[in-house]
Amino acid sequence: MPEQFLFATEVVLNGLMAGVLYALVALGFVLIYKASGIFNYAQGVMALFAALTLVGIMDGQVPFSHLINAIFGTEIHHFGWHVPALLAILLTIGVMVVLAWAVQRFIFRHLVNQEPILLFMATIGLAYFLEGVGDLMWGSDIKKLDVGLPQGINDWIDVTTFEAFGYGFFIDNLDISATIVAIILVGALIAFSQYTKQGRALRAVADDHQAALSVGISLNFIWILVWSIAGFVALVAGIMWGAKSGVQFSLSLIALKALPVLMLGGFTSIPGAIVGGLIIGVGEKLFEFLIGPMVGGATENWFAYVLALIFLVFRPQGLFGEKIIERV
Amino acid sequence: MEAAVTQNQDPAKTLLEVNNIEVIYNHVILVLKGVSLKVAEGGITALLGGNGAGKTTTLKAVSNLLHSERGEVTKGSISYRGDAVAGLDPADMVKRGVIQVMEGRHCFEHLTVEENLMTGAYTRGDGRGAVAADLEKVYTYFPRLKERRTSQAGYTSGGEQQMCAIGRALMSRPETILLDEPSMGLAPQLVEEIFGIVRDLNEKEGVSFLLAEQNTNVALRFAHYGYILESGRVVMDGPAAELRENPDVKEFYLGVSEEGRKSFRDVRSYRRRKRWLS
Ligand SMILES: Nc1ncnc2c1ncn2[C@@H]1O[C@H](COP(=O)(O)OP(=O)(O)O)[C@@H](O)[C@H]1O
Ligand SMILES: [Mg+2]
């Protein structure tokens, strides 16, 4: 039994690390939803697009090369240079900011005051459009993404746990760095929203659009800011996921992993997204480990949704969903 | 806030001029049918009238908050210090010194009282020191806000929220505050307190007010000049003291007449009669 317990502990640790990624994607949803009431279906595709762009820039790929070659009969695919990871990340952030601006300028500026369902539809359109643009810009082949994060089993943990318990835990270095990066990112986001003028304005807009307008806050600017931050969060998630499983279409499906996290944590709560992500990450790994063998495995596909449904029934506002304050 | 004090002497100077404006919501609903009014520098100008008369719409036309409500000024003009301000953003108006305190307070519920006040300084670029000094000043006018500075605004009382909303507007260093129904839903004693502070701000800080109120009685005691609005038209205007003594105003807005207090029902039937007459 102690051996079984050790296995389970290892599973929990791995689940926590997977949960961090879910939390990151869910965070992107929460940010946009809180500030603008838009449920951004395209969040997953944004992660894919960000990762594609990052790989493309790093490898010196010529954007839209298929299109260019088809029109001009040329055969160019690469600039022939390689861009260092850090610089490429900065450039990708720039691209995500431009994307945020374009989304606001060409879509949501024209949909101010529209029904939430209409805004949601617009993000579905955006998701497929962005997927197409990503393909067209960078090609649809599976790409390897390596920004220099350490990969493979962490020997120190392996050795230490082996000496202590007689069983070496398998923890991936990539998961450890993902966790650290995610913690830093979340800390930075919270500090930004709590202690800066723009962060305060962002929360003000989330509370009351009209009042925010009345004190001279530009909704347009705040929404571009929010979409930029969501783009940045998507990039970080894209890097982590891409480094693990390559950059390909399936990356956009991490959005589906974030959905139960949102149901669990509430659509408006940053702590909810984090804790929800961790619960789902741990829950699905542990469930697969303990119950999976009895039911023939593959529980990871549905466990999160069932858990989320149960939560939805008993606590519709989510774990930390903000209470609606009644006016006195 | 101090900036305006020096020019307080010349009451004849017009800050805001609304000239025969027409406002339409959703491209079809005609709400204002030619409203004109002037706000004198250093004065408190009251905009009176019953529910649905068009007071809020008039204020929003000035602060340019109409766009976000699908409203549009289709005729007439609005000028502030002689400049046409029609196409500006609300943010531009705030930078020019015109800020609206909306009906129903509209504090940011999940922000603390102090954070609410700080959002008022959003458009300012004169440094942390100046903003901090103004924050202290707001606290001297509203000591209660200082006590509740770390509470979430959504959990404060109606009176505190009204103070928070006015304090927030003050943080933008306004020259003119468009104050919409500050008395709404407040106990008479609190209404007195808030209007007292409005008078103080007007006299000591030189802030001009355009004050929309259904509470004609209180508004005319504190205001210098008044306009009465009925279904989107100005039906009467004059110095507050004169309006207070005007028999029609007494009867239909102050609820008193030679025979004593009139009931709401009588006022209603009179209005119907008047419409037939006009
Ligand atoms: N956003 C809106 N869309 C359509 N009609 C509106 C809107 N806001 C106000 N109205 C209408 O305009 C009229 C005047 O409203 P309002 O300016 O709020 O009056 P008041 O502030 O004097 O009570 C009312 O009949 C109201 O129903
Ligand atoms: Mg009103």
Give residue for tokens 């004593």.
B260
Residue B20: in which H helix or E strand, if any? strand B14-25
Would A43 be classed as within a structural domain?
Answer: yes
Return the residue in B66, B109, B178 with the most chain A beta carbons within 10 A, the one to mutate for interface testing: B109
The length of chain A is 328
Q: Which residues of chain A have pLDDT under 50?
A: 326-328
Would A121 be classed as within a structural domain?
Answer: yes
* pLDDT at B265 exceeding the cut of 50: no
Query: What φ, ψ does residue B256 adopt, rounded to 5°?
Result: -125, 150
* Residues in chain A closer than 8 A to B89 (CB atoms): 218
User: B118-130, pLDDT tens digit by residue?
Assistant: 999 999 999 999 9
Q: Cβ separation of A207 and B118 shorter than 8 Å?
A: no
* Separation between Cα atoms, residue B151 and residue B113, nearest integer Å: 6
Would A122 be classed as within a structural domain?
Answer: yes
Helix, strand or coil, per DSSP, at residue B254: coil
B161 has a chain A CB within 8 A of its CB: yes
B110 has a chain A CB within 8 A of its CB: yes
Domains in chain A: how many in total?
1
* Separation between Cα atoms, residue A255 and residue A242, nearest integer Å: 14
Return the residue in B119, B160, B172 with the most chain A beta carbons within 10 A, the one to mutate for interface testing: B119
Would A325 be classed as within a structural domain?
Answer: no
State the pLDDT confidence band at B231, using cuts at 50, 70 and 90: very high
Mean pLDDT of chain B: 89
Give residues with Cβ within 8 angstroms of A260, minimum separation 6: A276, A280, A304, A305, A307, A308
Would A296 be classed as within a structural domain?
Answer: yes
Q: Cβ separation of A210 and B65 shorter than 8 Å?
A: yes
Per-domain residue ranges of chain B: 2-99+174-245
Compare CB distances from A325 to B68, B109, B122 and report the shortest one's residue: B109
CA B71 to ligand 1 center in whole angstroms: 10
Does ligand 1 come within 6 angstroms of the Cβ of B11? no
* Separation between Cα atoms, residue A44 and residue A255, nearest integer Å: 4
Residue B230's beta-bridge partner residues?
Answer: B233
ipTM of this complex prediction, to 2 decimal places: 0.86
Residue A325: its pLDDT value, please? Answer: 54
Those of residues 192-231 in B touching chain A at CB distance below 8 A are none
User: B106-151, pLDDT tens digit by residue?
Assistant: 999 999 999 999 999 999 999 999 999 999 999 999 999 999 999 9
Helix, strand or coil, per DSSP, at residue A81: coil
Burial state string for A149-170 with b = 16 or more CB within 10 A and e = fewer than 16: beeeebeebeeebeeeeebbbe
Q: CA B4: distance to chain centroid?
A: 18
Give residues with Cβ within 8 angstroms of B277, minimum separation 6: none
* pLDDT at B272 exceeding the cut of 50: no
* Separation between Cα atoms, residue B271 and residue B100, nearest integer Å: 30
Q: Of A138, A172, A132, A176, nearest to A51 (Cα)?
A: A138
Range with the poorest average pLDDT among A185-199, A257-271, B165-179, B214-228:
A257-271
Give residue for tokens 């390689």.
A82
Mean pLDDT of chain A: 89
Residue B77: its pLDDT value, please? Answer: 96
Burial state string for B35-44 with b = 16 or more CB within 10 A and e = fewer than 16: bebbbbbbbb
State the pLDDT confidence band at B253, using cuts at 50, 70 and 90: confident
What pTM was computed for the model? 0.86
Residue A315: its pLDDT value, please? Answer: 79
State the pLDDT confidence band at B56, using cuts at 50, 70 and 90: very high
Looking at domain B2-99+174-245, which of 3.40.50.300, 3.10.20.30, 3.40.630.40, 1.10.357.10 is its CATH number? 3.40.50.300
CA B268 to ligand 1 center in whole angstroms: 19
Give residues with Cβ within 8 angstroms of B72, minimum separation 6: B23, B24, B25, B27, B66
Identify the domain containing residue A274 by its residue range. Answer: 2-314
Q: Of B128, B108, B276, nearest to A205 (Cα)?
A: B108
Number of H helices, E strands in chain A: 14, 0
A327 has a chain B CB within 8 A of its CB: yes
> How many beta-carbon contacts under 8 Å exist across A and B?
90
User: A21-43, pLDDT tens digit by residue?
Assistant: 889 889 889 989 988 889 999 99
* Separation between Cα atoms, residue A200 and residue A306, nearest integer Å: 36
Would A324 be classed as within a structural domain?
Answer: no
